[in-house]
Structure 1
């Protein structure tokens, strides 16, 4: 039986598209099942988005990152990861345009999201410095930078939990997300009558589908990069990052449609945080030394734009009443402008 190497370009494109559709379908279903379970167990929406939704929607990134690292394509790994950070942040802008009343950043009643974004900016800044200075090889082929960035994930979770218990901020003249959520949820989604066991079984099946489709995405994107003139870095930032961001897009839009705006924001920022933690398994799977030593100018540009779009939303979260322009907050339009400008710049240098 011929392998994927024997497929023509249009065949690889068809595999890529089919795998992306599976990721979209399974990611949406998995998020809805997880949201139903969180409702039944009374879990906090902020941490459901940060931990549960962000984790399950990052399954394609986990698979594509490790798979591409194992075949030795460091540029595709870094392009997918770092380009995905800006793309996933731009998903919040899409949700703001199509599914939110008022500016999206006007809804959170706690400063937790602003703190999460600031900590994410700090880790991205460390990452950018490592790509310029070079990673320290601790052997065998594992860099100190990847270890530190992976350790940043539990540290951020700990700081957020501690801050959540001690925060002294109080909301003043903000829209009521809880009332909005009850109204939208009643109109858009009926309660799931399935038992907890059935919901867990569905979640397992959807997870397996995401893993299989994610592997197909990585392999087809790697082969497409070899056969086109775009370069692995550009393919990683655009095709692969777009396809593996489909679960984040579907879950964020679904959360925004039912009024779970804090969950939508924490889902995206949490996904970006997990993306940085994935550097360690990618470094372990890659056998050509510390993987961050292979960061290109395009990867560094993606990190810088990731910092910029996150900082824009920090400003929106602090200002709260961000002006709306053409149905979305001004901060969301700025994020989209940065994202599309970065794509144009990556194509130019890639």
Structure 2
């Protein structure tokens, strides 16, 4: 007989498994679609892969602010996912043999990373303002929502224009890896994997609430650490699989693009949360995650621009090491806030 205390964790592992399986399929068929359509790996990573692998964050956020009424789960999930996506860059650097991923990736990723700093930093700024009584709102929405939507639109358009102008240097050139599949079959299987991701993501807010109640933990802590980990599984699986098939630029673009789309998701959550501006109804500790993500993204930009040589004890480069330290610091501060 299953213990009542074990049941929420079994539910969590089931969601992890479903999302992980679907993430592999998203990576495979996303790369096939990129080959067959002739789109650059970076553009597919920023727009298609980043959007679909962020579906768990989208669905979890929507369910959290509507049916479940758990705004801390929604915001913690979004900002925690940004931190974990950047930690995945560290993991890629550890798994990648040869030069550092920052040396072998295109410097064009600096553009999407810079927009990430802007958008995530703006969210952290808005959280601090909201909890100090400085809240501009339009109806039940914060004014920051309109700015986030504009920022995301400008970011996507800028990356697209860069792709057009620098496609030769920024795209991953590779032959058709799956000649046995038509474009229609690839898109259909890609869509089926996306549906699996959505189904698992719908359950996550309720699973997170069960864990929080059972363990006596804060919802902000559960959302940022556990739910964010679960919803980031597609990014992790897709990025590692993309790196292993030689599509490193797609992996890098998927992670950085996911952070942009995740900030756009916060705007959607704010629209759907009818009790008032979303960021005014959550714990201020989420600001720690926001600024941790800003620091980690800034380190990634330094790595992409400076391209440092060497690895620390044959593991990761100095850039990744500092990113890992910020990740640990962020998790520790959240743990202290919990206790």
TM over 0.5: yes
Q: Aligned equivalents of 1:194 and 1:164: distance in 2? A: 26
Q: Aligned equivalents of 1:225 and 1:204: distance in 2? A: 32
CA contact (8 A) 1:151 1:277 kept: no
Could you state the TM-score of these two structures normalised by the residue count of structure 2?
Answer: 0.91
CA contact (8 A) 1:177 1:261 kept: no
Match of 2:147 in 1: 148
Q: CA deviation at 1:112?
A: 2.0
Match of 1:323 in 2: 310
Q: CA deviation at 1:312?
A: 0.4
Do structure 1's residue 72 and structure 2's residue 69 form an aligned pair? yes
Q: Aligned equivalents of 1:282 and 1:192: distance in 2? A: 40
Q: Aligned equivalents of 1:227 and 1:119: distance in 2? A: 39
Match of 1:200 in 2: 187
After the TM superposition, which residues 73-92 of structure 1 pair with which residues of structure 2 at under 5 Å, given as runs? 73-92=70-89
CA contact (8 A) 1:107 1:177 kept: no
Q: CA deviation at 1:100?
A: 4.0
Match of 1:4 in 2: none
Q: Which of 211, 224, 227 does residue 214 from structure 2 map onto?
A: 227
Match of 2:125 in 1: 129
Unaligned 5+ runs, structure 1:
1-6
How many residues are aligned here? 329
Match of 1:24 in 2: 20
Q: Which of 96, 100, 109 does residue 99 from structure 1 map onto?
A: 96
- CA deviations on 1:187-224 (whole Å, 9 max, x unpaired) are xxx63512222222212221111111011122111222
Q: Aligned equivalents of 1:166 and 1:33: distance in 2? A: 26
Could you state the TM-score of these two structures normalised by the residue count of structure 1?
Answer: 0.88
Q: Aligned equivalents of 1:234 and 1:201: distance in 2? A: 37
- In the TM superposition, structure 1's runs of 4+ consecutive aligned residues that sit over 6 Å from their partners are none
Give 3-state SS (helix, strand or coil) of 1:296's partner: coil
Q: Aligned equivalents of 2:33 and 2:56: distance in 1? A: 22
CA contact (8 A) 1:99 1:253 kept: no
Do structure 1's residue 59 and structure 2's residue 55 form an aligned pair? yes
CA contact (8 A) 2:51 2:261 kept: yes
- CA deviations on 1:306-345 (whole Å, 9 max, x unpaired) are 0000000010011013432223222112111111121111
- CA deviations on 1:33-53 (whole Å, 9 max, x unpaired) are 111111111111111110011
- CA deviations on 1:100-121 (whole Å, 9 max, x unpaired) are 4211111134x32112211211
Do structure 1's residue 274 and structure 2's residue 271 form an aligned pair? no
Q: Aligned equivalents of 1:207 and 1:229: distance in 2? A: 33
Q: Aligned equivalents of 1:100 and 1:93: distance in 2? A: 13
Unaligned 5+ runs, structure 2:
none
CA contact (8 A) 1:68 1:74 kept: yes
